[in-house]
Structure 1
Amino acid sequence: MKKHSFPFAMIALATIGIVMAAGPAKFDGEFVDKKFLNGQGVFEFSIHQIGSALEIAFDAAYSDGHGATPDATGAGKVNGNAAQFAWKDSFGNTGTGTINLAGDDIVVSMKTVHVTDPRCLAFYRDNMKLKRVGKKS
């Protein structure tokens, strides 16, 4: 019986490795674009991931303090190396979005579904490249 222990252990370890590798991509982290809107604003995005479920939060502001400064929360789900989410901001606007991994960074695209305050619309765009802040967890 000892003859078969080593091959069994190797198969078990390989199976565990495959199962772990097949898990959802890691999106957890804090991300920012400090030169958003051609240097006129800042956009911050936070992701908390448990399994394939995501909780997101973001805020945006013009650097000089003018205009609306929305913050928002939402939830979503990971699907491979991408994720989809829905959000609602502090002005009552709602929308959907996608997140794609780009190395350590992410690319976020957002679309409004219901507009309550159009002053916030400048912040909700396609293909926003956001850089990871701090270490990857």
Structure 2
Amino acid sequence: MGETRKQYVPNELLSRLVDLRLYSVEFVLNDYVQFRFDGDQNPGHVTLNSYVWPGVRQDGSLWRERDLGYADALRRLAPGTVVSTTEQTGSGIHIELDTGTIVIHPAKEEIFVEIAELSGFPDGQWMAWRPGEDSFEDLA
């Protein structure tokens, strides 16, 4: 018999980032941004690839990729600790750190295939977000 897909629960996997430290922000070939997290309870490194340019909320401002200072705003997120996460249709993914907030909710024209991917947990759990699916239904 075919394997049945487990029912997706928004923020269940994403919330496992809480208390992890963002130790690296990497720009990969000016194509996407990779965020790496570590923490005492996690012997490996958890990685969030954002295949769209995320927004950065810091000090009351929202920085976008087109803004002068955007890369600096992303770099200032590290070394921050994740304090909360939210994920829902209409607003996408928000990862709040003690240094600012990563906001992933692109416009339709910014998306090619996937929006983001989270992996690296010791139990092998991972997630890929795509337009029209889990928490991004509004981008179908």
Structure having the higher Rg: 1
Give the alignment's TM-score, normalised by structure 2.
0.32
- Which structure shows the bigger proportion of residues in helix conformation? 1
